[in-house]
Amino acid sequence: MVSVSSPTIKNIRPSWTGTAVHMLAGCLLAAIYSWMAVNSNLDTGMPLSVFIQSYALAATVLAGVYVLQTYGNLEISFRMVFIWAVIFRMIAIAGSPILEDDFHRYLLDGCVFVATGSPYGIAPSTLFAGSDLSPECQATLNWVNNPDLPTIYGPVLQYVFAFSHLVSPVNINFLQVVLAGVDLALIWMLAKVAPSRHVMLYAWCPLIIKETVFTAHPDVIGVTLLFAAFLLRSRGQSMLAVAVATLACCAKVFALIALPYFLFRKGLKHWALAFVVAFLLYIPFILQGHTDMLVLGIFVKEWNFNPLVFELLRNLFSDRDARFICLSLFVASWTYYFYRFHQKSNNSPALMPRMDWIFGAFLVLSPVINAWYLVWLLPFAVLRPTCVAWCASFAVVFSYVTGLNLMSANLAAYEVYSLAYTLEILLIATAFLYDLIYNRSGMTGGTVRLARTQNQS
């Protein structure tokens, strides 16, 4: 059992020292993110080398200031953490998506949803000729990837895309503002249960700034809903927690692996509520004949990118067998942990599972590890920081070194360059070994107590 309430720090250095260090770190990060924003707005887009160097420098600054806080006894107030978090997100909103084109699908989904009443079951390739889309929507249609496949995004996200389109049609900047606002709400929730220096790891993290704001990946909506559900559960609001957790599942299926923690040993009304929430979200699309399930099935059966354990197994077995083995390993490990958690926690609502472990295992065994998937892991890694979680948030940047971004004829478009892939694995493996040997406070303890912390303002 672990409490995440703010620790008592002795022999604190004068406050002006901490303020100076954190102001310097904030200014450096603001300069780095500003440089990224400038380069992202170039007509040719941000060069891969500039992105890697900027990202690595930002990660180094963040790691440095965290180490100084931990071993130099420097305090940081949540007010400073939050103010800089807002500044960094404002800078990113002024930029453009970096080395990604998924945002065109979000904008197109909003267009199609508003125009037809449902974004599902419509492959973009069928819209190139004879559609009633506006010229702006037609323009973004030309850049959508995988145009032969209908959309894969859940109904909660589709409502967000439609809202963004209604307010500001085909405008990535407005969607960035929405996602940045959701992200700031998550930071505010983290501050309720974790020390400010831990919250800073997430609030200033280059992966979060890049994936959530610059590139507008909407995973933050799902993970924010899931974290809110755990907070509600810890405060005894179990029915509302179930409803919010179900919303998270309907944003992205990743949240399904957490849903049993809200329904286990609950009465029929909790199960019925989860069904009703999901039913109400899906029924408008079911009545029109399509949902996201078809493309999700294709994703599970066929897609792979930047895998870890799956890549090893695929070299030993067939692709299909490797997927089955990875799924079996995850189900077995999830089941074992679920049993142990409830055995130790006695179903106490104040205790939550180590979702950083659960999402970490899920990603390690997944055939697809996109950089933005770590957005699901990192908020929970704030509660019990581990070297492997935060090192992975840096190492995953090497997944962008692909044939497409290198413009290399020797690599497939989404094939990661072998040296970059090796560096990614070595960094994550080394951090994991470090945690096992030295970071006992982060790696031990199968539960987290959601305790309120007294962050200084």
Convert the pLDDT of each residue in 210-220 to its tens digit.
999 999 999 99
pLDDT in the model for residue 1: 41
Quick one: pLDDT band at residue 408, thresholds 50, 70, 90? confident
Domain ranges (residues) in the chain:
12-101+111-134+167-216, 304-457
The conformational region for residue 276 under phi > 0 = left, psi -120 to 50 = alpha, else beta, is: alpha
In tens, the pLDDT along 12-67 reads: 444 667 788 889 999 999 999 999 999 999 988 899 999 999 999 999 999 999 99
- Regarding predicted confidence, which is higher, 7 or 386? 386
Asked whether residue 312 carries a pLDDT value surpassing 90, the answer given is yes
pLDDT in the model for residue 2: 43
Mean pLDDT value of segment 1-20: 52
| % of residues, the chain, pLDDT over 90 | 77
Quick one: pLDDT band at residue 451, thresholds 50, 70, 90? low
- Regarding predicted confidence, which is higher, 440 or 400? 400
pLDDT in the model for residue 10: 41
Mean pLDDT value of segment 249-272: 95
Among 146-160, 169-183, 283-297, 371-385, name the one with the lowest average pLDDT: 283-297
Asked whether residue 250 carries a pLDDT value surpassing 70, the answer given is yes
Quick one: pLDDT band at residue 130, thresholds 50, 70, 90? low
Mean pLDDT value of segment 106-119: 93
Asked whether residue 283 carries a pLDDT value surpassing 60, the answer given is yes
Mean pLDDT value of segment 357-368: 96
pLDDT in the model for residue 21: 86
pTM attached to this predicted model: 0.93
pLDDT in the model for residue 6: 42
Quick one: pLDDT band at residue 259, thresholds 50, 70, 90? very high
